[in-house]
Structure 1
Amino acid sequence: MGDAPTSSYPVLSITAEQYTAWCRPWMNSLIIKVLGLSIPKHVLIDKVRRMWKPKQPLKIVPLSNEYYIVSFSSKEDRDYAYYEGP
């Protein structure tokens, strides 16, 4: 009694600079999910480009369960998709 339970999970100490560096690849990314149907990746890419009209290139990476990461080349394109797009 009196002893605090110890975590069975490892603890990783990192600096703010390391955290920023690890997050940098995802700073202009959104995670999206296609609802209601399963579509091929190339169809999704065409649909996203028509809806959001990005000025810079974007990359779509499939995850699981119809989720995708959309990585924008610019913050402006990401913000438009997030705040203005469907």
Structure 2
Amino acid sequence: MSDVETILETTSTQPLKVSYGDRLVGDGLGKLNPEEIVEMETEEYMSESESLDLDLSDQAPFNPKPNIEVTLEEYDEWCRPWKQALIVKPLGKKINLHAMVRWINKRWAIKETTRVMDLQGGFFLVRFSNQDDYALALFEGPWMIAGHYLLIQRWSPLFMPQETKVQKMAVWICIPNLPAELYNRYFLWKVGKTLGTMLWVNELTSIQSSGKFA
């Protein structure tokens, strides 16, 4: 019995740690002087900081370049919606997103609407819902906005605007004062091939419906 009494007496004489909130509730703010309030706030802050340090010490060190595993099937699934998309950039002129959307919807989105996303470096990503609209924009144009050429290329995976350099572009070639007998698809195609990779011939020009230029 004496051992029990000794333990009880020892326990009862140890001071209990009272938090800042307990003191405010028990004693009331009016009974604490400013020095006591500052001291209690400091103790409370240090206690929380020590607890936070212990939690952080159990975590793995920060890795600024973590490896994220992605399966080929997952990546193919994420790429599928962009297979029918074009990367567009106005050359020599800055165009805002709203102006580009209006221009595209008026000239390229003939059958269905498109989705346009602005990227860094003045690039735009245009995703088509209709295959015919996609082919029209890629092969027929128009490829000029506000008097400036548009750089057009198919979307490709891992496209990085800041690392892209203009190496080739699709343009309309105008040939003024062409003799009438040369307004035919065969000759115009030969002219185009001497200048670069031929994409399209204006059908109105090749059938001589328009004779101002080829």
In the TM superposition, what is the alpha-carbon distance from 1:14 to its structure 2 partner? 4.4
Mapped to 2, the partners of 1:72 and 1:54 lie a distance apart of 11
In the TM superposition, what is the alpha-carbon distance from 1:28 to its structure 2 partner? 1.0
2:114 pairs with 1:66: no
Unaligned 5+ residue runs, structure 1?
1-9
In the TM superposition, what is the alpha-carbon distance from 1:42 to its structure 2 partner? 0.8
Paired residues for 1:18-37 under 5 Å: 18-37=74-93
Q: Partner of 2:86: helix, strand, or coil? A: strand
In the TM superposition, what is the alpha-carbon distance from 1:80 to its structure 2 partner? 1.1
- 1:77–1:43 CA distance, 2 compared to 1 (3 A): same
Mapped to 1, the partners of 2:118 and 2:78 lie a distance apart of 20
Tell me the TM-score normalised to structure 2 length. 0.32
Higher strand share goes to which structure? 1
Deviations 1:12-47 (A, max 9, x none): 7845x5454232110110000011111221111111
- 1:13–1:59 CA distance, 2 compared to 1 (3 A): closer
Mapped to 1, the partners of 2:78 and 2:114 lie a distance apart of 20
2:136 pairs with 1:80: yes
2:145 pairs with 1:55: no
Deviations 1:21-80 (A, max 9, x none): 232110110000011111221111111222224311101001101001000111221111
Q: % of aligned pairs identical?
A: 32
Unaligned 5+ residue runs, structure 2?
1-66, 144-214
**Rg larger in structure:** 2
- 1:75–1:20 CA distance, 2 compared to 1 (3 A): farther
Q: RCO greater where, 1 or 2, for CA within 8 Å and sep 6 or more?
A: 1
Task: Look up the equivalent residue of 1:65 and give its one-letter code.
Answer: G
Mapped to 1, the partners of 2:85 and 2:109 lie a distance apart of 15
Higher helix share goes to which structure? 2
Tell me the TM-score normalised to structure 1 length. 0.72
Q: Partner of 2:120: helix, strand, or coil? A: coil
Task: Look up the equivalent residue of 1:69 and give its one-letter code.
Answer: L
